[in-house]
Structure 1
Amino acid sequence: MTLFSLSPRRQRRLTRALQLVIAVVFLVGAVERNLSVVVNASIALVVTFLPAILERDPEFDLDAGVTLWVTLAVSLHSLGMLGLYTAIPWWDSLTHTLSATVVAGVGYATVRAVDEHTRAVYLPPRFLSVFILVVTLAFGVFWEVLEFSIRGVTDLLGIQAVLIQYSLEDTLTDLVFDGVGAILVALFGTRRLSTTVDSLVGRLERTRGR
């Protein structure tokens, strides 16, 4: 996947730069003893290395653009924890949209690979678009429930919340932009995920043959 018409080499460099940004966010959180920043930055760093772990498998071909896509999403969220969520009104909407595209992309690639792998499953293109939207919104609802639950537990224990839920209006807005992210993938992202889908299909075929 060629993201922003950049070469794979430049995409990898940008990925490393964004990982460095997340590491800096982690250090800032540690110095300021901000638990929410430290926890979110730690999880973000782990997520950015997951594509690299998958790439170690010689049977799995993961495009550099996919890695950059995921890293960009989690890095923007990490930066938001430093205060950008409150300082910039649209930052939350931006991160939700981008994160939703990642969820939608994973959902699409997985289901598309299963569809191509077995004749027992047939998913029409229109259904796939609806599926992407439903899965992304379902994950969005799960995330909002998780935020609410964590906030309730941390308030009960008297400790700092690692995820923040501002209001019901904010939750509904988040879900709207989750839907926007899913629609963007349905309209423009499926072709760009073809390499990933092919890798998953090949892996399923080799697994069945063993």
Structure 2
Amino acid sequence: MSKRIFCIRSIVIFIFITFIISAIYLFVIIEFVPLVDEKFSARVKGDYVIMLLQCILGIVAMVIPVILKKRWHIHVPPKMILVYAIFLYCAIYLGEVQSFYYIVPYWDKVLHTLSGAMFAALSFSVITTLNKKQYTSANLSPIIVAVFAFCFAITLEVLWEIYEFTTDLILKTNMQKYALSNGVLLVGQAALKDTMQDLIVGSLGALIISLIFYISLKYKKSWIDKIQLKINEF
């Protein structure tokens, strides 16, 4: 095993263990957290429910590349896995558990921009892999690949917002920031602001990456091969 692969694997394992420990800790203390904080100075049960859900999602998300490799023999490039893991760490552990969403200005918007870019890159990797001659008789043009990557990324961004809405509706949380920290409900555009900003910056991230990959594919840049998935033949 090369030193680079060892470092990547160590970082990914560290992040995975962090999610597991955080989930166990949250599961244990969640029963001792007050349902409502009258002074609005501390986290309440709904906040810990969100953190627990996100940690569980993080664990599941990090297992997906392993499942792809073992079940369908799809190899995800190590660098892509590293970026994927670091993004999950920033979004879930730093963002939710360590409250970076509230401490660091625009942390949420930066991550949504990056998520749109990552979804577009993932889609581009998948479709260019499947577009090879051994997998299909069609030969999609660079513009079709770029448009598909952009639309795929936007679809995933929308599905995430649906997840946030559903979670808020069922568990009475505030993932979509429709209420202030003191419990006051927002109305009109103020209530929609967080959701729409997330969709807008996610779309911009997807658009930028789609354009970059379109130009790279059109002019046949060799670095594209380094981010493509590999399907092992039997």
| TM range, smaller chain | 0.7 to 0.9
Q: 1:38 Cα deviation (Å)? A: 1.2
Task: State the partner residue of 1:164.
Answer: 175
Task: State the partner residue of 1:149.
Answer: 166
Give me the whole-angstrom Cα distance separating, in 2, the residues matched to 1:192 and 1:59. 23
Pair 1:92–1:29, CA change in 2 (3 A): same
Q: 1:198 Cα deviation (Å)? A: 5.6
- Alpha-carbon contact 2:165-2:176 (below 8 Å) kept: yes
- Alpha-carbon contact 2:77-2:228 (below 8 Å) kept: no
- Alpha-carbon contact 2:74-2:229 (below 8 Å) kept: no
Give me the whole-angstrom Cα distance separating, in 1, the residues matched to 2:153 and 2:163. 15
Q: 1:164 Cα deviation (Å)? A: 0.6
Q: 1:174 Cα deviation (Å)? A: 0.8
Q: Provide Cα deviations, 1:138-194, integer angstroms capped at 9, x if missing partner.
A: 221222123223312333xxxxx3x71013111121112212332353326976562
Q: 1:8 Cα deviation (Å)? A: 2.2
> 2:92 matched to 1:84?
no
Unmatched 5+ residue regions in structure 1?
1-5, 156-160
Pair 1:131–1:59, CA change in 2 (3 A): closer
Which one-letter code corresponds to 1:93 in the other structure? K
For 1:43-62, list aligned pairs within 5 A.
43-56=57-70, 59-62=73-76
- Alpha-carbon contact 1:105-1:193 (below 8 Å) kept: no
Percent sequence identity over matched residues?
A: 19
Q: 1:57 Cα deviation (Å)? A: 5.9
Pair 1:90–1:32, CA change in 2 (3 A): farther
Which one-letter code corresponds to 1:45 in the other structure? I
Match of 1:114 among 130, 133, 140: 130
Q: Provide Cα deviations, 1:88-118, integer angstroms capped at 9, x if missing partner.
A: 2211112222332332233222222232221
Match of 1:42 among 42, 47, 56: 56
TM-score (norm 2): 0.69
CA RMSD in angstroms, aligned pairs only: 2.8
- Alpha-carbon contact 1:25-1:78 (below 8 Å) kept: no
Task: State the partner residue of 1:101.
Answer: 117
Q: 1:70 Cα deviation (Å)? A: 1.6
Q: 1:196 Cα deviation (Å)? A: 5.8
Q: 1:10 Cα deviation (Å)? A: 1.5
Give me the whole-angstrom Cα distance separating, in 2, the residues matched to 1:64 and 1:133. 23
For 1:18-29, list aligned pairs within 5 A.
18-29=15-26
Unmatched 5+ residue regions in structure 2?
31-47, 178-190
Q: 1:41 Cα deviation (Å)? A: 0.2
Q: 1:136 Cα deviation (Å)? A: 0.9
Structure with greater Cα Rg: 2
Q: 1:71 Cα deviation (Å)? A: 1.2
Match of 2:143 among 126, 131, 135: 126
> 2:225 matched to 1:194?
yes
Greater shift in the superposed pair: 15-24 or 73-82: 15-24
